[in-house]
Amino acid sequence: MEIVKVQTRSQWRDFHRVPFRVYRDDPYWVPQLYLERKFHFSPSHNPYFEHAKAEFFLAYENNEPVGRITAQIDDLYLARYNDATGHFGFIEAINDPALFARLLATTEDWLRGQGMKRAVGPVSFSMWDQPGLLVEGFDSPPYVLMGHARPYFAPHIEAAAYRQAEDLLAYRYKIDIPAPVELRRIMQRAMQRGELRVRTLHQKEDLFLRDVELLRDIINDAWSNNWGFVDMTKAEIDDIAGLLKHLLRPGDVAIAEYRGEPAAFAAIFPNVNEAIRDLNGRLLPFGWAKLLWRLKVRHPRTARMAMMGVRKAHQNSFIGAALALSVIESASVFNRDHGVVEGEFSWVLERNERVRQVIEWGGAIPYKRYRIYQKAL
């Protein structure tokens, strides 16, 4: 067995091939599009690399790629927490505990060489991307931008002396479940008094860009006390703006204003995984046409609420819960009216009881659990 740094074109090809071997008989795995993954790992295309650096490792056995992992250091994280923590991510390997041990040891050695004293992961690449390892809920496909794993991943990582740092939950919900009566009354009273107004994302270019920056401001405020939080940068929200502009419809994003000030928002993404599941990661020769038809004509029947936030000034109050309800309901009703029947809230910190309560009031049920591990170096 040999572990190498990914440098050549053929090694990059093998790096992307590893999941196809790991999940080749897993009926629930969804191959991500190769072109999208290529851009995601590229420092010239992914704004994460404006404040972070990473190393990529690939394991070979008998000249066949059998495992992969990344090691990364985020300068914004270190500036905020000053705790000498580095991260690992994108761990995928065949069922071999010795292989997992060697992959993890390789990242640990690299992190130690960079002066780090703790390893946390998997975080792929950041908390804004796909954090956590799936440890419960293997019997259904992942939603868009959520991870998948084999059941043997967790015990092999834990055998390398990694312990739970945090758990993240994904909730499944029916799109037409009515909101709790008490919260609905609070929301309706606020609307009747003119204190609460919900609108969609502007489409005119200058107003759209202003709204995108507004979303970043709300989420950086709303999430600032969350475990592992790092501010979303302007470059990162601008990158997401391309997705918002071309993939989302105006009603997929709801913004709530309370007493004239933007106070909350929610964004629902169509579950692209539903549309790409059988494309085997490729858009050519006919994958692009299938994807376009499935997204623009047939439309996915499932959607993921990937972003939601309420400003801290309103958190831990009934009006804060009503704000959350108003944006969730607005985006959900729009999707219901456009053929969506089921959705996922993800991800939510297990310790975030306030947000979990609001979600569960609406009838959502936790059905997947993702774990972030840590280890002293």
Q: Is the distance from CB of 212 to CB of 244 less than 8 angstroms?
A: yes
Peptide bond between residue 125 and the one before it cis (omega within 30 degrees of 0): yes
Distances (CA, A) of 90 to 82, 104, 268: 24, 11, 25
* CATH at residue 258: 3.40.630.30
Considering the domain architecture, whether residues 247 and 137 belong to the same structural domain is answered as no
CB-based burial, 245-262: b 16+ in 10 Å, e otherwise: eeebbebbbbbbbbeeeb
Q: Where are the beta strands (DSSP E) in 48-84?
A: 52-61, 64-74
In a domain, 361, yes or no: no
What pLDDT does residue 178 have?
A: 66
What is the C-alpha to C-alpha distance for residues 296 and 132, in angstroms, rounded to an integer? 31
In a domain, 94, yes or no: yes
Considering the domain architecture, whether residues 38 and 9 belong to the same structural domain is answered as yes
Considering the domain architecture, whether residues 294 and 336 belong to the same structural domain is answered as yes
What is the C-alpha to C-alpha distance for residues 135 and 360, in angstroms, rounded to an integer? 21
Full DSSP string of 184-218: HHHHHHHHHTT-EEEEE---SHHHHHHHHHHHHHH
Considering the domain architecture, whether residues 182 and 297 belong to the same structural domain is answered as yes
Among 169, 185, 209, give the residue marking a domain's end: 169
Considering the domain architecture, whether residues 160 and 197 belong to the same structural domain is answered as no
What is the C-alpha to C-alpha distance for residues 219 and 225, in angstroms, rounded to an integer? 11
What is the C-alpha to C-alpha distance for residues 186 and 191, in angstroms, rounded to an integer? 9
Q: What are phi and psi of 344, to 5 degrees?
A: -130, 130
Full DSSP string of 138-154: TTSPPPTT-----TTHH
Considering the domain architecture, whether residues 159 and 43 belong to the same structural domain is answered as yes
Provide the residue range defining the domain that includes 104: 2-169
Q: Is the distance from CB of 3 to CB of 57 less than 8 angstroms?
A: yes
Considering the domain architecture, whether residues 245 and 195 belong to the same structural domain is answered as yes
Among 290, 240, 287, CA closest to 267: 240
In a domain, 351, yes or no: no
In a domain, 360, yes or no: no
Beta strands 85-93 and 118-121 are parallel
In a domain, 9, yes or no: yes
In a domain, 352, yes or no: no
Amino acid at 190: A
Among 169, 191, 225, give the residue marking a domain's end: 169
CB-based burial, 222-234: b 16+ in 10 Å, e otherwise: bbeeeebbbbbbe
Considering the domain architecture, whether residues 160 and 205 belong to the same structural domain is answered as no
Considering the domain architecture, whether residues 275 and 196 belong to the same structural domain is answered as yes
Among 153, 169, 185, give the residue marking a domain's end: 169
What is the C-alpha to C-alpha distance for residues 244 and 242, in angstroms, rounded to an integer? 5
Structure tokens at 22: 């790991």
What is the C-alpha to C-alpha distance for residues 185 and 71, in angstroms, rounded to an integer? 49
Tens digits of pLDDT across the chain (377 residues): 899 999 999 999 999 999 999 999 999 999 999 988 999 999 999 999 999 999 999 999 999 999 999 999 999 999 999 999 999 999 999 999 999 999 999 999 999 999 999 999 999 999 888 999 999 999 999 999 999 999 999 999 999 999 999 999 999 988 876 666 766 777 777 777 778 889 998 888 888 889 999 999 999 999 998 899 999 999 998 888 877 777 888 899 999 999 999 999 999 999 999 999 999 988 887 788 888 888 887 889 999 999 899 999 998 888 888 888 889 888 988 999 999 999 999 999 999 888 888 788 778 999 999 999 999 99
| DSSP SS3 for 23 | coil
In a domain, 376, yes or no: no
| DSSP SS3 for 351 | coil
What pLDDT does residue 322 have?
A: 85
User: What is the count of structural domains for the chain?
Assistant: 2
Considering the domain architecture, whether residues 261 and 159 belong to the same structural domain is answered as no
Among 357, 372, 345, CA closest to 227: 372
Amino acid at 83: D
Considering the domain architecture, whether residues 206 and 299 belong to the same structural domain is answered as yes
Considering the domain architecture, whether residues 45 and 120 belong to the same structural domain is answered as yes
In a domain, 349, yes or no: no
Q: Is the distance from CB of 201 to CB of 208 less than 8 angstroms?
A: yes
